[in-house]
């Protein structure tokens, strides 16, 4: 037939392009060559502590102990290589270290069995961060938490750090909680019923160094006085009292839609709105974050990289015209609804105001 009747062999790079990527950055996996060359089918899958790559090791149904003991019969490949041979492995990728699984393929389908518990695993196992996120959603916006919980948020430990992020000006003492990019200065911001004395107060951030979620702010605290809180109570919106907490219309939270939150004075909120209305008129079509705040957040990151993610996680900002100060900070795991909690001193006075974003125990 000649050369024109023959199919040219695939180049290595062409084969690589054909591999489907199920999980980005999945890492290396030790797989027996019998699985890779098709002389056996996947049978055993376990994840070892301090193993190579992501810790997963795969053996075939025809592999003997003598076979797998010879390192020449094992190869480190991208996890997606194994997934292209048997896609069911994607379901168990996020299982923890120490997992020991048997793969089964029968008339009921393809699935894994936990060899220690006998549990059948037929659905995708969620990422630990997703599990923690879902638990955290149920935890947020309660009427109250324990005193120990609030104290733990701002107690230095191997997992927790406390950062004095900047100061906020309160010319009227009427407090606003809001997403600064989406709602500050709008009718959707949350003005609190309880006021604080006019003045300037520092903001502290509870920095959680999470193994599964990275660096996150678990909470933000406005320090109203040097007194100690003996209890905490949820911050009610203007016109509502503590006893209205579970009544319809008493929305004791504020919305975050850009991953940022802040404390502000109601007068400063108005000045903020006026400033950006003017800025928008002078910069038609431009974006408040990418064309104004992004560079400032980056500079904040460069000044305090140990407390922030690349690109910046907080910003102590002073409005150019009025000189009023606000601290903008990332909101835990991102968008959602969050509540403030007053720290109440021995005499019934407000000594602090804390926004809870996360329960660090979940992360």
Chain segment 217-273, per-residue pLDDT in tens: 999 999 999 999 999 999 999 988 777 666 665 568 999 999 999 999 999 999 999
pLDDT of 246: 67
Q: What is the spatial order of strands in the sheet that 109-114 belongs to?
A: 74-78, 28-32, 56-60, 42-47, 100-106, 109-114, 120-121
pLDDT of 5: 40
Dist CA 56 CA 16 (whole Å): 21
27's torsion region: left (phi>0), alpha (psi -120 to 50) or beta? left
pLDDT of 120: 97
Q: Which long-range contacts (CB under 8 A, 24 or more apart) does 349-352 make?
A: 349/225, 349/227, 350/194, 350/196, 350/224, 350/225, 351/223, 351/224, 351/225, 351/226, 351/227, 351/228, 351/229, 352/221, 352/222, 352/223, 352/224, 352/225, 352/229
Alpha carbon 51 to its chain centroid, in Å, reads 26
pLDDT of 311: 96
Look up the pTM and report it: 0.76
pLDDT of 169: 98
231 class by beta-carbon count within 10 Å (0-12 exposed, 13-18 middle, 19+ buried): middle
Dist CA 356 CA 127 (whole Å): 23
**For tokens 């992004």, what's the residue?**
294
pLDDT of 248: 60
pLDDT of 250: 59
Largest Cα separation within the chain, whole Å, is: 98
30, 51 contact by CB (below 8 A): yes
Residue in 219, 218, 216 with CA at minimum distance from that of residue 263: 219
Dist CA 252 CA 355 (whole Å): 12
| DSSP SS3 for 78 | strand
pLDDT of 144: 87
pLDDT of 79: 97
Segments in the chain below pLDDT 70: 1-17, 51, 244-251
């Amino acid at each position: 037939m000649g050369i024109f009747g023959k199919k040219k062999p695939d180049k290595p790079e062409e084969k690589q392009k054909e591999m489907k990527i199920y999980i980005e950055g999945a890492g290396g996996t030790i797989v027996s060559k019998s699985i890779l060359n098709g002389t056996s089918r996947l049978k055993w899958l376990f994840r070892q502590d301090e193993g190579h790559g992501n810790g997963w090791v795969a053996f075939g149904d025809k592999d003997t102990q003598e076979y797998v003991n010879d390192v020449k019969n094992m190869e480190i490949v991208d996890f997606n290589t194994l997934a292209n041979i048997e896609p069911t492995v994607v379901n168990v990728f996020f299982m923890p270290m120490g997992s020991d699984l048997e793969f089964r393929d029968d008339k009921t389908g393809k699935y894994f069995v936990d060899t220690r518990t006998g549990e059948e695993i037929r659905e995708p196992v969620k990422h630990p961060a997703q599990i923690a996120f879902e638990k955290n959603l149920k935890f947020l916006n309660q009427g109250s938490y324990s005193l120990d919980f609030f104290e733990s948020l701002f107690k230095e430990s191997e997992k927790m750090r406390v950062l004095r992020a900047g100061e906020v000006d309160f010319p009227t003492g009427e407090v606003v909680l809001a997403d600064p990019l989406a709602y500050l200065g709008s009718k959707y911001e949350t003005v609190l019923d309880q006021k604080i004395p006019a003045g300037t107060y520092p903001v502290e951030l509870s920095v959680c160094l999470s193994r599964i979620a990275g660096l996150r702010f678990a909470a933000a605290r406005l320090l109203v006085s040097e007194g100690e809180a003996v209890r905490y109570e949820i911050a009610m919106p203007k016109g509502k009292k503590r006893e209205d907490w579970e009544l319809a219309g008493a929305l004791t939270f504020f919305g975050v839609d850009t991953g940022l939150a802040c404390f502000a004075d109601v007068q400063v909120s108005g000045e903020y709105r006026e400033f950006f209305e003017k800025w928008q008129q002078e910069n038609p079509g431009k974006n408040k974050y990418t064309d104004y705040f992004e560079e400032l957040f980056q500079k904040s990151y460069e000044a305090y990289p140990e407390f922030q993610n690349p690109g910046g996680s907080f910003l102590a900002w002073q409005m150019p015209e009025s000189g009023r100060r606000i601290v903008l900070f990332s909101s835990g795991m991102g968008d959602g609804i969050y509540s403030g909690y007053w720290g109440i001193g021995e005499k019934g006075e407000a000594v602090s105001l804390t926004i809870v974003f996360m329960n660090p125990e979940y992360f």
